[in-house]
Amino acid sequence: MKYQIDHDLHIHSSLSTCSRDPLQTKECILEYAKEYGLKKICITDHYWDKQIDGASDWYAPQDFDHISKIKPLPQENNIQFMFGCETELRKDFTLGLPISRFDDFDFIIIPTTHMHFNGFTVEGGENEEERAKLWVRRLDAILDMPLPFRKIGIAHLVCPLINKQSREAYLKTLSLIPDSDMEYLFTKAAKLGCGIEINKSDMIFSESEAETVLRPFYTAKKCGCKFYLGSDVHQHHGFEKVKPIFENAINRLGLQETDKFHF
């Protein structure tokens, strides 16, 4: 059976610093789920825990007390509305979420591709080859951590924030990641049981870019990884564009229900 669009596990509310949309409320997000027939949705606001030293100025206000203001979440028949977070990986491979907090969340997404926080997630000034190596090292660092991977998703693997210098530099960075490294990482991810995110923004590309952008996902599928959908929507008007982008990604990757991540 073809992969069904019945969930969205990466959604931001107005509590995320990068949203600031007063209309992006939990009620608005629930209406999105009802309109599109989704069975599972998850709030994943940006988060850095106060127990972990070294938060950036951008992340510091987004502690547990702050993102918990979204609770309680409204419930609707046949829709599971979950509380999650999107934490961060610092340049020294410190995760902004202590093990003691994992049980406080239904689902946790971890981005390894936020390479735009110079001085925090990366040193800054890295060229395409260096950023390709960081793509590998940062994902490998997460997969080596003692985490409950059955409730963890790896967010936006091909996020353009890997290299903001230009679209050409971004694509070159992706192309420089060796196939052998991808196979090693995704084989490890499949064994650990974490989810691989198909992110709406990652799936916007031209026909000439498709092979480069989709290569990690084809490799992950070949290695046995399971996939979940994440719109990464920050503003209330962003939901209307989600479904056709997901449908295109599912069709291109040939995803079936057996490829779906469950937790």
Give, as one character, the DSSP assignment of residue 3: P
Angle, helix 210-222 to helix 179-192, in steps of 10 degrees: 40
Give, as one character, the DSSP assignment of residue 254: T
Q: Is residue 98 situated within a structural domain? A: yes
The whole-angstrom distance between residue 244's C-alpha and the CA centroid of its chain comes to 19
| Residue among 223, 217, 227 at smallest CA distance from 253 | 217
C-alpha distance across the termini of the chain, in Å: 20
Q: Is residue 1 situated within a structural domain? A: no
| pLDDT for the residue 25 | 97
Question: Can you spell out the DSSP letters for 59-73?
Answer: TTT--HHHHGGGPSP
Span 94-121, average pLDDT: 97
State both tokens at 7: 């969930």
| pLDDT for the residue 238 | 80
Q: Is residue 2 situated within a structural domain? A: no
Q: How far apart are CA 69 and CA 83, in angstroms?
A: 11
| pLDDT for the residue 148 | 97
- At residue 110, φ and ψ (nearest 5 deg) are -125, 115
Q: Is residue 180 situated within a structural domain? A: yes
Q: Which domain holds residue 184?
A: 7-259
Q: Which pLDDT tens digit goes with each residue over 174-205?
A: 999 999 999 999 999 999 999 999 999 999 99
| pLDDT for the residue 158 | 98
The answer, yes or no, to whether residue 161 has pLDDT greater than 90, is yes
**Cβ(250)–Cβ(37) under 8 Å?**
no
Q: Is residue 22 situated within a structural domain? A: yes
Q: Is residue 61 situated within a structural domain? A: yes
- The reply to whether omega before 72 is within 30° of 0 (cis) is yes
Q: Angle at CA 156, nearest 5°, toward 31 and 185?
A: 140
The answer, yes or no, to whether residue 168 has pLDDT greater than 90, is yes
Q: Which pLDDT tens digit goes with each residue over 51-74?
A: 999 999 999 999 999 999 999 999
Alpha helices in the chain (DSSP H): 26-36, 64-67, 128-143, 167-175, 179-192, 210-222, 242-253
Pairing, β 80-86 against β 195-199: unpaired
Three-state SS for 120-171 is CCECCCCCHHHHHHHHHHHHHHHHCCCCCHHHEEEECCCCHHHCCCCHHHHH
Q: How far apart are CA 186 and CA 212, in angstroms?
A: 17
The whole-angstrom distance between residue 177's C-alpha and the CA centroid of its chain comes to 19
The structural domain count of the chain equals: 1
What CATH number has the domain bearing residue 234?
Answer: 3.20.20.140
Q: How far apart are CA 171 and CA 205, in angstroms?
A: 11
Q: How far apart are CA 150 and CA 193, in angstroms?
A: 5
For residue 249, give the amino acid letter. Answer: A
| Residue among 28, 27, 8, 72 at smallest CA distance from 235 | 28
Q: Is residue 141 situated within a structural domain? A: yes
The answer, yes or no, to whether residue 20 has pLDDT greater than 90, is no
- In the chain, pLDDT over 90 holds for what percent of residues? 97
